[in-house]
Amino acid sequence: MPYIYVLFGTGFPTPRFSSTVKYGNPGSELQNVMSFDRYTFGLSRCDRQRTEAYVLNRYELMSFLDPKQFVIYAFGDYAVVMKIAPRFMENSPLVPHS
pLDDT digits (tens, 9 = 90+) for 44-82: 898 888 889 999 999 999 989 998 899 999 999 999 999
Give how far the C-alpha of residue 84 lies from the chain's centroid of Cα atoms, to the nearest Å. Answer: 14
Q: Where are the domains of the chain?
A: 1-41, 44-98
33-45 core/surface letters (b: 16 or more CB in 10 A; e: else) = bbbbeebbbeeee
97 confidence band (pLDDT: 50, 70, 90): very low
Secondary structure of residue 35 in the 3-state scheme: strand
**Amino acid at position 62, single letter:** M
| Residues in a beta bridge with 22 | 35
How high does pLDDT run on average in the chain? 86
| pLDDT computed for residue 19 by the predictor | 98
What mean pLDDT do residues 23-45 have? 93
| pLDDT computed for residue 93 by the predictor | 52
Is the pLDDT at 98 greater than 50? The verdict is: no
